[in-house]
Amino acid sequence: MSDNPKSSYREKEVLALLQDKETQKRGFEMIVAQYSEQLYWQIRRMVLSHDDANDLLQNTFIKAWMNIDYFRADAKLSTWLYRIALNECLTFLNKQRAQNTITIDDPEASVIQKLEGDSYFSGEEAQLLLQKALLTLPEKQRMVFNLKYYEEMKYEEMSEIFGTSVGALKASYHHAVKKIEKYLESTN
């Protein structure tokens, strides 16, 4: 096996490592190496802030580690991790919304200010405009859009993550695209 856990990642081997208490930690380290970047970006697109995304990524892996014995291999590890990450995002965003009682008229304003002030965000105006448009979507619709648009995830896999039908996800994505188009037209 090479020193780079990501290049030698094979899910069946990792699942076997997770079954044995002696090798469980090594298997989990391989999971972290394999999925950290894609989970980080999925979380980041929901919460926008680098620091918040890092915290939620850590929380995701902590919950996964604490519940690794309950993972059933009937789903892919990535599906299970996305489900944990998306639940972490929803919890975080709900808490954030509850704390933002000052900006009742425009609850997204503080998130946009956070994004514009984030030294890790190097987006140009078009990217910032897209992020503002995404903030107008309901959270689950935004998650579906992000997974489809950025991750190019298949609806069938999203269906496993959300526990929703493929048809409902397609409709959700379609509505998200229409709302984003409408938002972008109204800003021009």
User: 107-160 pLDDT, tens per residue?
Assistant: 555 555 555 555 555 556 777 788 888 888 998 899 999 999 888 999 999 999
Q: Which run of H or E residues covers position 169? A: helix 166-187
Residue 139 CA to residue 162 CA, distance in Å, equals: 12
Q: Supply φ then ψ for residue 55, to 5 degrees.
A: -60, -45
- Would you place residue 75 in the very low, low, confident or very high pLDDT band (cuts 50, 70, 90)? confident
CATH topology of domain 7-107: Rna Polymerase Sigma Factor; Chain: A (1.10.1740)
Residue 88 CA to residue 82 CA, distance in Å, equals: 10
Q: Is the pLDDT of residue 67 over 70?
A: yes
What residue ranges do the domains of the chain occupy?
7-107, 123-188
Please state which CATH number belongs to domain 123-188. 1.10.10.10
Question: Residue 110 corresponds to which tokens in the numbers above?
Answer: 């503080």
Indicate the DSSP class of residue 52: H
pTM for this predicted structure: 0.74
Averaged pLDDT score across all residues of the chain: 84
Q: Is the pLDDT of residue 104 over 50?
A: no
pLDDT of residue 82: 94
Q: Which run of H or E residues covers position 141? A: helix 139-149
